[in-house]
Structures are given as C-alpha cells and as structure tokens.
A and B are shown apart, each in its own frame.
Chain A
Amino acid sequence: MKTTWKEIPPVPTSQEFLDVVLSRTQRRLPTQIRSGFQISRIRGFYTRKVKFTQETFTDKLSIILEGFPKLQDIHPFHKDLLNTLYDADHFRIALGQLSTAKHLIETISRDYVRLLKYAQSLFQCKQLKRAALGRMATICRRLKNPLVYLEQVRQHLGRLPSIDPNTRTLLICGYPNVGKSSFLRSVTRADVDVQPYAFTTKSLFVGHFDYKYLRFQAIDTPGILDHPLEEMNTIEMQSITAIAHLRSAILYFMDLSEQCGYSVHAQIQLFRSIKPLFANKLVFVVINKIDITRPEDLDSGTKAMLDSMLKSGEVELLQLSCTTTEGVTEVKNAACERLIADRVAQKLKAGTNSSGSVGGRLGDVLTRIHVAQPLGGVVREAYIPEAVKNLRKFSKDDPNRPRLARDIEEENGGAGGYNIALKEQYKLEDEDWNHDRIPEFFAGKNVYDFIDPDIESKLAALEEEEEKLEAKGYYDSDFDVEDADEADIRMKADLIREKRELIRNEARMRKSLKNRAVIPRPAQPKKLSAMEDSLDKLGFDTTAISARARSQSRGRSVLRSRTGTEDAMDVDTPTNNIDALRPKSRARSQSNRRDDGVTNEVARSKAERLQKLGQKKMNRMARQGEADRHTSAALPKHLFSGKRGMGKTQRR
C-alpha cells in the first residue's frame, strides 16, 4: 500500500499549462498551408490541429488526475489525514473540476471537428480552429484556482512523512509541552524540533528504531487540548486522526511537575475524554520529567485520581525522564515487548478458526516452523588423543623440556647471527643428499628446466634397450660412405631447386600487376631470343627454328629499321616458282597513315607539332572533337531556380 506520494508530477499554473499545450501544437504540427490546396487537405490540416490540441490537453489533465491519490482507495488513516490537512471536499472538487474540464474539451473538439467537415474555405477553417482553441483555452484559464490549490497540495503531500498504518507503531500523544518530541528524539534518530513552548510540533513526525531485530516506527503527534472534537484545529486533528486509525501502542505522556502549564488534573481529564479512541489498543501512561516530580511525590488527592485512571487494568504506568535519560529505554522496551506480544496474539486469534485449530496461511507457516534441539539432551564429549592428554606442560626450567627452534637459535649465536638450516628439513630419499649443492644455472641453461623426476627410471630403460641392441649385434655392420651416384643425384637436385626458385621468382615478378591489365599467356609477347635461350639450355639446335620465325615475322617498320646498321643481307632467292609466288599471295596489311608520306623523323616530329597546334583551341574549349559545336545555356535553369529559405540573399 502506498504511504508516500512523493512522485506526483508538478502541476503547472493555468498560464503555463496553456503555453505548454499551445506551443506544443505549434511545434509538433505542420504550419504551412495555402488557400490553393485541395479543400479536403485544408480541412484535414485544421482538424488535425484541433484534435492534437485536445489530445494534449487530455493527456496533461489525466496525468494530473492520475497522480493524486484517490481518497476511496487509500487507507482510512491517510484519508482522514488528507481530509484534515487539505479538506477532502475541496480536494475532490478541484479534481472534479479538472476532470470536467477534460470532458468539456473533448466535447468541444468533437463539435469543431464536425463543423470543420462542412467548412468551405481556408479562412473559414482557420476561424473554426481559432474558435475551438480559444474555447479550450478559456476552459483551461478557468482552472486557475484548482491548479494552484493542487500544486500546493502536491508540495505538502510530498513532504508528509511515510507512515505505514499496519506496522509496529508506538504513538506518542498528550498535552502540549509534556515532552513528546524529546522522547522521540531520545529513542530514534528523527530530527524533531524541541522547544520550550506549546505547539512546537505542528504535524506528525516519524522516527524509526529497532527492537529485537524488528523495525518499529514511533510517531510524534502535536499536542492536544481538552475540548470537544468540533472545536479542535487542524494541528490537533492530525493527532486525533493518528490515534483513531493507527494500529499501535499508545504512549500517553503526562507531566506531573506541571511545567507544561497544564495541571495534572487537566491531563487526567484529557485522558478520560480521548479514551474512546483507545479501544482495542495498548495504552501506556508515561510519566515524563521524573527528575522533577515522581508520582510518589504527589499529594494524596491527585495520587488517588492517577490511581483511578490506572485502575481499569489495561493501562500500564511507566516513568521516564528525557533530560536525564532515566527510564527511556525501559519505557521503550516495555512498550515494544507488549506490542509484539499483542500483535502475535492477535494474529494467532485471527488465524484460528471456530474449531480451535490454526488454519490458512498462518497454519502453513506454523507447520513449517521447527526448532531444533541438540541430541535430545545427550552429552557428547570431545575426543582428545592419548598423546595429547599425556603431553607434559612446557616449562623453561624443566631440564627435560623438548628442544625448541628458539633454543637452537640461542645456541648458534642468537637472533641476527643464526640462519635457520632449512636444508636439514628437506624430505629426500636419502638424508645425505640434503646438503648437496645444486647450481641454479649450468652452461647457460636454467637447471630447473631440465629436471625430470623420472630421469632415473628413463635412464635405466634406455640402458637396458642399448644392451639388448648390442646383444643382438645391431651395431656390428660397417657403415660405408656415400657413393658417386648419390653425389650426382644431390647435385642435380640442387640444380632443380635453384631453377624452380628462379621460375618462381620470375612468376612473382610477373604477377605483381602494378595496376596493369592481366594479359593471358598466349597473348603475351615472347622474344625470339628468350626461346632460343631456353632451347639452347635444353640442348637443342635452334638455327632452323629461329630462321623459320624470322621468315614469318613482318620485320621492322621503316622507323625502327636498322637500315645501314646491319650487315648486308644474304639474298634469299626462291628455289622454285611456288616459293616465289608465296610472298605475293600473302595479304598485305593496310599502310599506316601516320607514317604515310613521312619521309624521315624530322618531318614526322614537325607534323606532330603542327597537329598539336591545330588541336589547341579545341582542347581549351573542352570540345569533344572538331565537330563539337554545342553551346551550353548561360544560366542553367536547374541550377538557378527553386526555393530559397532563410531570408533574402543579403540577409542569411
């Protein structure tokens, strides 16, 4: 159950409310509309505005409405407390006004959406929207007072202490100034104001403490004066509410010294008059300030009255003094003890059915409770070995005492001079090994890496095997050196390896494309010399094959020809007619026009220069060729037309 209402969202004032809603409509919805648009679109635009505003109003109002507690749903104590503090009627009316406003706004929105369906022009739509929003705003403005009231309630509600009506509670009440708050301060850590005037505490205060690992709450109430319920003010009514509704142990504080300004008689009278509220509750009369006056000090008349108050039996008298802290814990413990016992008894009573057995959930719990008893009372003694029992008590003066490490140290030079011989305590197979020296490093190796615990057994196994082999005569046959054949094979293998490596390198070189196109192997140019080389290496005669290749080649162009450089050509005179006809029948390639009519290289370069000069203008104008006569638009429309937002050209 809810005991605090700290998370109620803030309630805006009517003006803020309106600003929020209207600016939200403005921000969240499109704002551009033209009278030229289709009327259905215009209608839709404005309908959306009206509906959206209404939805926002409804949302915000329902958030407020849901945030506040509903009086019929909360505990009667909180209900009454809220009633005394904020006036339940006022509270209900304020919330009712909000919900009415919500309803009205919904109606308005419905009406205007209906009217917008018949609107004929943008202007009419706009006016209707304006009227709708205006009427919603008017309704909202009328909520000014309820909203202000609710905001105040919210703030106050959030600061109320969290009082759980069902937990273990000590309720401290009494006349003003009898030391209620001082008691709360002394038993809990609550920071309550204590002042020497009446009505220092104006509202309920809560403090918590633990007793027997259980959490208790102590509630400090404002003082009550002895007058009829109708005349009580809000502050006193809070106390009355707490006393009436909380299931608690009530500590009625009294001040016999009359320092509080009220006579003992009046205090007893108050107790009598509020007694009807104590029905079915534990009541303790706590005498405060016993450092000044104790009940024994009273005169006989007052004492008799006090006794008559306690006579009925269910009221217990406790005494304490907050200033000297005498009896504070005793009072607390006594009250808590009684309260726990009472609550348990009540719970059991509630869980017991008519036949007398405990049933329901309580029964389930009770059956599961099992208190373990150790061994049913049998005594089992601890086992102590004989040796330990017979152990002699160690004493320094005993000559037969066991020798301690400390004694050894003393004998060998005392502290600082003596090193404990750790090696003596090694547990090796042979005790003689204890003092063997083992180097940490040997021949640059960490010895520890080579330690093998099974080395002995392994060595033994190896030796045994060796012996066997020797016995078999395995080592007898002589082992001759490698012969010439093997050397030859080795040499050849080396050659092959080298060759393979070369091929691989070459392929690697070739494969690195460096951004060039992949050329298939048959299309790759292979030099004749390369072929000759490789065939030579393989030991073939290449004269015939290279002659054939040369005869089929087209030969060099004029420019590349080595005219004059080569030796005089040996004339290949055809031996028969067929051979003579052969070159004539071959398809002649077209002449290269770039080379036609160019006599030598000088002429060629001159021609190229002229060509470049001729193309200069064309290139400069970014023409595609000589035939490109295109004239582009001076102001291309797609680049210079269209929307421009954000002000003029000058002011952007």
Chain B
Amino acid sequence: MPQNEYIERFQKQHGRRLDYEERTRKRTARESHKVSKDSQHLTGLRAKLYQKKRHHEKIQMKKQIRQKEESNVKSSGPSEPSSTPLPQYLLDRSQPTNAKALSSAIKNKRNEKAAKFSVPLPKVKGISEEEMFKVVKTGKKTAKKGWKRMITKPTFFGPDFTRRPVKYERFIRPMGLRYKKAHVTHPELKVTVQLPIISVKKNPQNPMYTQLGVLTKGTIIEVNVSELGMVTAGGKVVWGRWAQVTNNPEMDGCLNAVLLV
C-alpha cells in the first residue's frame, strides 16, 4: 500500500519517465501557440474571460518591462548624501526629487483651499418625480384615488420614527429600502469605516427630499464619527461629521460616502 510521500520516493528510486524533459520542453515551446489559438478561436463567455486574463497578464508584463528598464537608468539624485557640507544657497539644487515633492505639496495646499468651499461631487444628475415616486392607488373599485406616493429610492429615517395613520400618510418610505449605516471614507487617511447615519442634511435634488430623508448620489448626510476618535482643535471629541454620498445606493445596495473635512 503506498503511503506518505510515495510519489517522491518512486521518483527517487526510478527517476522520471524517460521523455519527461523532452515533453516539458515541448509543452513550454507550444505554449505560445496554444495562447494564440485560444485567443483566436474562443467564443462567447470563455472568450471574454480569456481576454480579460490576457489583458491582466499583458499589463503585468509591461509593468515588469518598465521596471526593468527603469532599473537600468541611473537616477538623477545621488544614492546617499555627500559627506562634504553644501553651502546654504546650493541646498535647493541638485535634488530634483525634493523639488517634485515640494511642487506637489503646493498644489495640494491649493486644492485644499478650494476644497473648503466645495464638495467632492459638485454636480449630480437630476431625478424626475416619476422616477422618485410610485403612485399608490387607494380606495375601492369606483373611487380609486392616486394621492399616495411610495418612494422608490433608499431613505433614512431615525430610530424613533413612527408611521402616520394610513389615512394621512402621503409618502410611504419602505422598510426594505431603509439605510442606517454608511461606508464612509476618510479622504486623507484613506480608510473606510462603516458609520451610523445621524441625519440627512441636504438632498441636492429637492428640499422636500431632504425632509423625507431620501438618499441619492450627492446627498449630504451627517454621520457619527465617534468611532474614528477625531478631535477638534480645542481637544474635544468630534461626534457628528458631514459626508457626501458618492454612489447610487439604489443601484449598488450599499451606501458609500466621503467625509467632508
């Protein structure tokens, strides 16, 4: 009964089959032919998957080539700081890498300044009322009325929300489309955390939607950032912070937002 590493043992005792090397060599030699044949003849889903795989492989290949080429070129900066001290007026020169970092820092600063008064998504596509609301028919056979609306987009309403009596409830906000948490990205820290929503501050589509708590792309929401442990200049822990919704929650089934800082 073969047990444990019997394959290795067999190979140690008897070696591989005689044409093993020849076969492996041939297989590698044929590899490119097979690739060519596959990329020409595959159809349908297989072709799609195959092309995607090839695409990735090619990108990797090109990256490698580029890395190789770059490693051959000598970098402009010296590998280590020179032992002889430089005069003050020459300090800024001969360090192109430094210069680059400086310029990008300036650019960033400018950006930030502008960012103070802007939001990451300055413009959104309009949503028509037909798309937003579905008419719900009320009344019996003869007196069917259409004064009731159901909101077809995700909404936020607080934990203490109670529905109004059926007779007075003009807008229905379905429970299935209720969101209580959002995936909030901190743009500087580049981290994403799931935070509870406190309220909807502004819906760019319509002030009424703000009231209703509709969450669409571009909506400003307030989130509870106490988990992040952010501190104000005065040293107080920040509790609520604003964030802007960056995706279409009704399409994705989740709510992504960017923290406004």
Contact = CB atoms under 8 A, between A and B. Distances in A.
Contacts of B25: none
Given A23-B45, A161-B1, A118 B176 contact: yes
Contact of B253 (A128, A159, A204): A128
Interface stretch (B3-11, B76-84, B102-110, B202-210): B3-11
Given A115-B253, A127-B251, A131-B251, A159 B5 contact: yes
Interface residues of B, number: 21
Contacts of B134: 120
A203 B251 CA distance: 56
A159 B4 contact: yes
A317 interface: no
A115 B254 CA distance: 10
Nearest to B249: A115
A160 interface: yes
A115 B174 CA distance: 11
Chain A CB within 10 A, most for which of B176, B248, B253, B254 = B253
Contacts of A111: 253
Contacts of B177: 115, 118
Contact of A19 (B3, B6, B49): B49
Contacts of B251: 124, 127-128, 131
Contacts of B131: 120
Contact of A203 (B4, B152, B248, B250): B4
A118 B5 contact: no
A253 interface: no
A25 to B, nearest CB: 11
B69 interface: no
Nearest to B251: A127
Interface residues of A, number: 28
Given A120-B152, A128-B253, A131-B254, A114 B45 contact: no
Contacts of A204: 4
Interface string B239-261: 00000000010111110000000
Nearest to A203: B4
Contacts of B176: 114-115, 117-118
Chain A CB within 10 A, most for which of B3, B177, B252 = B3
A353 interface: no
Interface in B1-48: 1-6, 9, 45
Nearest to B174: A118
Interface in A94-136: 111-112, 114-115, 117-120, 124, 127-128, 131-132
A6 to B, nearest CB: 11
Interface in B174-214: 174, 176-177
Contacts of A17: none
A205 B253 contact: no
A206 interface: yes
Nearest to B4: A203
A26 interface: yes
A206 B152 contact: no
A118 B3 contact: no
A440 to B, nearest CB: 67
B250 A159 contact: no
Contacts of B2: 159, 191
A131 B3 contact: no
A161 B248 CA distance: 57
Nearest to B132: A120
Interface in A221-271: none
A124 B250 contact: yes
B213 to A, nearest CB: 16
Contacts of B252: 127-128, 131
A626 to B, nearest CB: 60
Nearest to A26: B45
A159 B49 contact: no
Contacts of A485: none
B250 A132 contact: no
Chain A CB within 10 A, most for which of B5, B9, B174, B251 = B251
Given A115-B177, A128-B253, A131-B252, A160 B152 contact: no
Contacts of B6: 159
A160 B3 contact: yes
Contacts of B49: 19, 23
A296 interface: no
A570 interface: no
Contacts of B248: 127
B253 A132 contact: yes
Nearest to B6: A159
A357 B25 CA distance: 75
Contacts of A115: 176-177, 250, 253
21 contacts: A111-B253, A115-B177, A117-B176, A118-B176, A120-B131, A127-B251, A127-B252, A128-B252, A128-B253, A159-B2, A159-B4, A159-B6, A160-B3, A161-B1, A161-B3, A161-B4, A190-B3, A191-B2, A193-B9, A202-B5, A206-B3
- Give the top 5 A-B pairs by smallest Cβ distance, nearest first: A161-B3, A127-B251, A203-B4, A131-B252, A131-B253
Given A111-B253, A159-B5, A202-B4, 8 more contacts: A26-B45, A114-B176, A115-B177, A118-B152, A128-B252, A131-B254, A132-B253, A202-B5
Interface of A: 19, 23, 26, 111-112, 114-115, 117-120, 124, 127-128, 131-132, 159-162, 190-191, 193, 202-206
